[in-house]
C-alpha cells in the first residue's frame, strides 16, 4: 500500500498493491496495520455504507458533529467519481480548503477522510457504486452538511449544471459561511 499526503492535513490518498495476472487481480482493500499511521483513526470501523448513483449525481456535502463525527475510508467498486473533502476544523491552517480526487474501479485508490471534514462526491461515469467504511455509527441528530454548490467553496464538480442531480435535502443545506448548528 502507498499512502500519499494531500494538501489537507490528515486526509490521504491510499493506493493498494495490486496482484494481477491473466485471471484478473487480487488486492487488500483494508488492513488494520495500514491505519496505524493515519490521523484520527479510532482503531476500528463499525459501519460500512454503499451507494449506487447515476451520472450527474452530486451527493453531499455531509458530516456528523460532536461525539458522532465520523472518519471514512472511501472507495469505488464500479464506475468513476470525483471525491471531495473539505476541512471544517476551525483551528486548522487549511480550514475551508478542499481537495477533489478521482476515485474509480480502475485506479482502485481510496481516500482517507478524518473526522472534521465534510464529504461529498459527483458521479462522472454512467453509474457508480461507492463503498465507505466509517469509524462511528450514523446518528440522525448529529447529521449536518454544507450546500454542494456553495459559492465560497466554489467546487468544480465536473458536471454541467443542466446535468446535475442533487437531492432536495442537499439543496436545502446551509452555505459554508452559515453552518446550520
Q: Give pLDDT tens digits for 28-59.
A: 888 777 776 666 666 688 999 999 999 999 99
pLDDT (average), residues 132-159: 95
The grid coordinates of residue 77 equal 467498486
Spatial contact of 126 and 31, defined as CB atoms under 8 Å apart: no
55 classed as catalytic: no
Active site residue 25: no
Query: Whole-model pTM?
Result: 0.92
Q: Which of 55, 132, 137, 147 is flagged as catalytic?
A: 132
> What is the DSSP code string of 101-150?
EEEETTT--EEEE-TTEEEEEEE-SSEEEEEEEESS---GGGEEE--TT-
| H, E, C per residue of 34-87 | HHCCCCCCCCCCCEEEEEEEECCEEEEEEEECHHHCCCEEEEEEECEEEEEEEE
Domains of the chain: 2-171 (2.60.120.10)
Active-site residue (options: 25, 54, 55, 62): 62
Amino acid at each position: 500500500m502507498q499512502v500519499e499526503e494531500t494538501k489537507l492535513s490528515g486526509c490521504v490518498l491510499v493506493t493498494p498493491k495490486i496482484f494481477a495476472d491473466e485471471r484478473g487481480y487480487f488486492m487488500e482493500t483494508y488492513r488494520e496495520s495500514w491505519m496505524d499511521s493515519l490521523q484520527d483513526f479510532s482503531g476500528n470501523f463499525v459501519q460500512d455504507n454503499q451507494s449506487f448513483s447515476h451520472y450527474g449525481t452530486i451527493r453531499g456535502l455531509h458530516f456528523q458533529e460532536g461525539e458522532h463525527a465520523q472518519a471514512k475510508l472511501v472507495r469505488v467498486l464500479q464506475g468513476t467519481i470525483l471525491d471531495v473533502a473539505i476541512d471544517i476544523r476551525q483551528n486548522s491552517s487549511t480550514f475551508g480548503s478542499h481537495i477533489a480526487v478521482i476515485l474509480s474501479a480502475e485506479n482502485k485508490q481510496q481516500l482517507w477522510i478524518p473526522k472534521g471534514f465534510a464529504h461529498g462526491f459527483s458521479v462522472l461515469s454512467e453509474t457508480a457504486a461507492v463503498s465507505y467504511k466509517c469509524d462511528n455509527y450514523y446518528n440522525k441528530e448529529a447529521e449536518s452538511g454544507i450546500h454542494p454548490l456553495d459559492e465560497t467553496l466554489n467546487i468544480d464538480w465536473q458536471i454541467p449544471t443542466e446535468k446535475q442531480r442533487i437531492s432536495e435535502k442537499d439543496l436545502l443545506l446551509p452555505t459554508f459561511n452559515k453552518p446550520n448548528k
